[in-house]
């Protein structure tokens, strides 16, 4: 990068207080944004008594691990975590494989019906999940798969968004590279695996992150498809324990929230550049 344009620099020098105000506003805004997180994390270590006591306290009076212990003893956190993880990992792997395969066909092979297929993919990007879940439920229950892993995984193995993402990225890979491999006698499968896929690292990383995020936080379908407690994913377990008699166990609910979002938050902080790039890529198209 070169030095900032002259006009920008001059503007900044002329009005330093604009910068100060901007910083102050941004800091205030980010603090306000993060307050719910702070309150959640601190609250998870408070007793129910302290949580309902007024005035509100920030720092726990007598920090307790009791709320977390409840998740591992009275509730089956291990099982919920395992369910969420199995579903997320399977969904990510499926998307990486299947979306890149179609992406390759759509970007690099000239075939009959290509436009129709791509248009269908684009149209389905707009269809809300609530439209499909009733027929899906009927299909899955006819197949006897309600409350099984396949019910939670299969509908999400390939996503139109992933296909779109992979196609867009692969369009940018020069055809000449593929032609060279073809001249050298490589078949399409070989070209796909040895030439195209190794170049798709950034797109695959983006797709993996977005799919993992979507799967980990997915709610409506698991709520419908996981009808027995041993198949609940984390958000489903948390939402079902947040009503009825459990709704008054404030500390347990906050601890549950912490347990649900901590893995994804850690993942996010570690890979934040790619997360943000991914959203920008998919958004900007």
Partner 1 sequence: MTLLRQPRVTGAGRIAGARRRGSTARRRATVVAYLFALPFIASFAVFMVFPVLASLGMSFTDFTNRDIQNPTSVNPVGFQQFSALLSNPQFLRSVLNTVYFVGVGIPLTMVIALALAVALNSGINRFRTAFRVGFFAPVVTSIVAVAVVWRFILQPDGLLNEALAAVGITGPNWLGDPAWAMPAMIMMAVWRSVGTLMVIFIAGLQNIPQEVLEAAEIDGAGRAQRFFRVTLPLMRPTLLLGAVLLSVGFLQFFEEPFVMTRGGPLDATLSISYFTYNQFGFGNFGLASAASYLLFVAIALLSLVQFRLFRSKD
User: Interacting stretch for partner 1, rule CB under 8 A, among 61-69, 75-83, 85-93, 270-278?
Assistant: 270-278
Measured CA to CA, the distance from residue 170 to residue 165 in angstroms comes to 9
Measured CA to CA, the distance from residue 178 to residue 191 in angstroms comes to 7
Measured CA to CA, the distance from residue 107 to residue 104 in angstroms comes to 5
Tokens of 5: 């344009």
Alpha helices per DSSP H over the chain: 6-14, 16-43, 48-52, 66-73, 77-108, 114-124, 129-142, 149-153, 160-171, 175-183, 188-190, 197-199, 201-217, 220-225, 234-241, 250-270, 272-284
DSSP 3-state assignment of 195? Answer: helix
DSSP 3-state assignment of 245? Answer: helix
The reply on whether position 274 binds partner 1 by CB under 8 A is: no
| Size of site (CB under 8 A) for partner 1 | 111
Residues 45-64 that bind partner 1 (CB under 8 A): 51, 54-56
Cβ distance to partner 1 smaller for residue 89 or 97: 97
Among 86, 136, 186, 205, contact with partner 1 (rule: CB under 8 A): 136
Among 75, 88, 102, 208, contact with partner 1 (rule: CB under 8 A): 102
Residues 17-46 that bind partner 1 (CB under 8 A): 19, 22-23, 25-26, 29-30, 33-37, 39-40, 43
Cβ distance to partner 1 smaller for residue 86 or 223: 223
- Closest by CA to 222, choosing from 128, 83, 74, is 83
User: Interacting stretch for partner 1, rule CB under 8 A, among 60-68, 71-79, 200-208, 257-265?
Assistant: 257-265
The reply on whether position 97 binds partner 1 by CB under 8 A is: yes
The reply on whether position 202 binds partner 1 by CB under 8 A is: no
Q: Residues 137-176 vs partner 1: string with x where CB under 8 A?
A: xxx-xx-----------xx-xx-x--x---------xxxx
The reply on whether position 5 binds partner 1 by CB under 8 A is: yes
* Cα 74 to the center of its chain, rounded Å: 28
Among 49, 63, 72, 114, contact with partner 1 (rule: CB under 8 A): 114
């Amino acid at each position: 990068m070169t030095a900032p344009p002259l006009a920008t620099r001059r503007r900044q020098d002329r009005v330093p207080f604009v910068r100060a105000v901007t910083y102050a506003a941004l800091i205030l805004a980010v603090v306000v944004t993060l307050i719910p997180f702070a309150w959640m994390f601190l609250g998870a270590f408070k007793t129910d008594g302290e949580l309902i006591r007024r005035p509100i306290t920030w720092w726990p009076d007598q920090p307790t691990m009791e709320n977390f212990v409840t998740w591992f003893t009275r509730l089956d956190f291990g099982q919920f975590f395992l369910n969420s993880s199995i579903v997320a990992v399977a969904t990510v792997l499926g998307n990486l494989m299947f979306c890149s395969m179609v992406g390759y066909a759509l970007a690099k092979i000239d075939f009959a019906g290509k436009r129709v297929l791509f248009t269908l993919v684009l149209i389905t990007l707009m269809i809300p999940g609530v439209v499909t879940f009733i027929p899906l439920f009927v299909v899955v229950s006819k197949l006897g798969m309600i409350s099984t892993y396949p019910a939670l995984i299969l509908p999400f193995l390939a996503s139109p968004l992933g296909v779109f993402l992979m196609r867009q990225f692969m369009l940018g890979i020069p055809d000449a590279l593929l032609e060279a491999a073809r001249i050298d006698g490589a078949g399409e499968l070989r070209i796909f695996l040895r030439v195209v896929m190794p170049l798709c690292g950034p797109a695959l990383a983006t797709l993996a992150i977005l799919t993992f995020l979507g799967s980990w936080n997915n709610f409506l379908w698991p709520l419908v498809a996981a009808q027995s407690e041993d198949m609940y994913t984390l958000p489903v377990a948390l939402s079902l324990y947040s009503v009825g008699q459990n709704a008054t166990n404030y500390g347990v609910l906050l601890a549950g929230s912490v347990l649900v979002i901590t893995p994804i938050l850690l993942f996010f902080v570690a890979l934040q550049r790619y997360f943000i790039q991914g959203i920008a890529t998919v958004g900007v198209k």
